[in-house]
Amino acid sequence: MSARRQLSFDDLGTPLAEATLVVVDLETTGTDPAADAITEIGAVKVRGGEVLGEFRTFVDPERPIPAYIASLTGITDAAVAEAPSIRTVLPMFLDFAGDAALVAHNARFDIGFLSAQAAACEITWPRPRVLDTLALARTVFRRDEVRDHRLSTLARHVGAGITPDHRALSDARATVDVLHAIIERLGPSGASTLEDLGTAHRRASPVQLRKKHLAEDVPPVPGVYQFLDAQGAVLYVGTSRNVRSRVRTYFTAAETRRKVLDMLPRAESVRVIECATATEASIRELRIIGREKPPSNRHGLHPEKAHWLRLGPGTQGLRTARLAKPEQDGSAQIGPLSSRHDAEPLRGLLTDAVMGRGAALDSPGRALPGGGHRERIRRAMTEDPTEVLDHVAGRLRSHVGAGRYEEAEKLRRLALAFLTAARRASRLRALAEVPLLIAARPSTEAVIGGRGWELLAVRHGRFSGTTLVAAGKDPLPFARSLAMTGLGEAELAAPLCQGYHQEAEILLGWLEAEGVRTVLVEGTWQVPARARFDAEHLAQRFAATADAAEA
Residues assigned a catalytic role: 166
Residue in 90, 83, 171, 85 with CA at minimum distance from that of residue 123? 90
Please tell me the distance from the alpha carbon of residue 496 to that of residue 502, in angstroms, as a whole number: 11
* Helices then strands, each counted (H, E), the chain: 19, 15
Dihedral-angle region of residue 141 (phi above 0 means left; psi in -120 to 50 means alpha; beta otherwise): beta
Q: Which helix (H) or strand (E) holds 54?
A: strand 50-58
Q: Is 390 exposed, middle or buried (0-12, 13-18, 19+ CB in 10 A)?
A: middle
Please tell me the distance from the alpha carbon of residue 277 to that of residue 263, in angstroms, as a whole number: 27
Strands (E), 119-277: 130-132, 223-228, 234-240, 269-274
- Residue pair 421/341 in contact (Cβ under 8 Å)? The answer is no
- Residue pair 232/282 in contact (Cβ under 8 Å)? The answer is no
What does each C-alpha distance from 475 to 438, 441, 456, 520 come to in angstroms? Answer: 11, 11, 11, 10
- Residue pair 469/478 in contact (Cβ under 8 Å)? The answer is yes
- Residue pair 289/282 in contact (Cβ under 8 Å)? The answer is no
- Residue pair 56/168 in contact (Cβ under 8 Å)? The answer is yes
Residue in 197, 193, 199 with CA at minimum distance from that of residue 182? 197
- Residue pair 123/99 in contact (Cβ under 8 Å)? The answer is no
CA angle, 88 then 93 then 96, to 5°: 130
Residue in 156, 131, 419 with CA at minimum distance from that of residue 254? 131
What does each C-alpha distance from 303 to 42, 300, 325, 340, 376 come to in angstroms? Answer: 39, 6, 16, 15, 31
Q: Which helix (H) or strand (E) holds 207?
A: helix 206-211
β partners of residue 51: 46
What does each C-alpha distance from 516 to 287, 442, 443, 454, 527 come to in angstroms? Answer: 25, 8, 10, 10, 11
Residue in 119, 141, 125 with CA at minimum distance from that of residue 93? 125
Q: For strand 101-104 and strand 20-28, is the pairing parallel, antiparallel, or unpaired?
A: parallel
Please tell me the distance from the alpha carbon of residue 265 to that of residue 246, in angstroms, as a whole number: 18
Q: What is the DSSP letter of 34?
A: T
Q: SS3 letters for 345-384?
A: HHHHHHHHHHHCCCCCCCCCCCCCCCCHHHHHHHHHHHCC
